[in-house]
Amino acid sequence: MAYALPLSFPNAAALPRVVLTLVGLWVVIGLSGCASSRPALETQDGYSLDMTQALIVSSAKNALGTPYRWGGTTASGLDCSGLTQRSYQSAGISIPRTSNQQFQNLPRRERARPGDLLFFGPRGRASHVGIYIGNNEMIHAPGAGRTVRVSNITKRYWRHHFLGVAGPRN
């Protein structure tokens, strides 16, 4: 279906913005129909991700190789909770700043799904957080002198310090 603009458009300078707005609206309407009919992404172990999970995981993957920086929340340096906060923000979800605040405030889950947060620490206090990506792996910012990376959560250290799983509200 073709749409014609009137020949005497009242504000010619605004024409490109109007066209972009119409195109953007068409894309949003078209994609919204697709989002509910099929998953946005599938992980290696067969999890089907919804759009929110896909955005969180994609953002975390884009941060791979970023240097660790205590208190960091930008592409020039991230700490573990800065990574999770930034990844969730990419999906439009606001979460607290520190790993323990995230652990205390986000809804708990029985089982991890891609995009969920995995918490680690001593005596019930979260001191580290990572983003589960499926296949027993998480993306996290491990500490000084390292970069954001993928780690296997079946390693003894992670099993021993594991506190729980939390994720965005459904």
**CA torsion through residues 139, 141, 142, 147, sign:** positive
Residue 94 exposed, middle or buried by CB count within 10 Å (0-12, 13-18, 19+): exposed
CA–CA–CA angle 54, 52, 91 (5° rounding): 100
- 128 counts as catalytic: yes
**Phi, psi dihedrals of residue 136, rounded to the nearest 5°:** 60, 35
SS3 assignment, position 119? strand
Catalytic hit among 34, 140, 160, 161: 140
Beta bridge partners, 120, equal: 128, 162
Catalytic hit among 34, 80, 160, 161: 80
SS3 assignment, position 7? coil
Give the Cα separation of 117 and 131 in Å (integer).
Answer: 5
- 80 counts as catalytic: yes
Active-site residue list: 80, 128, 140
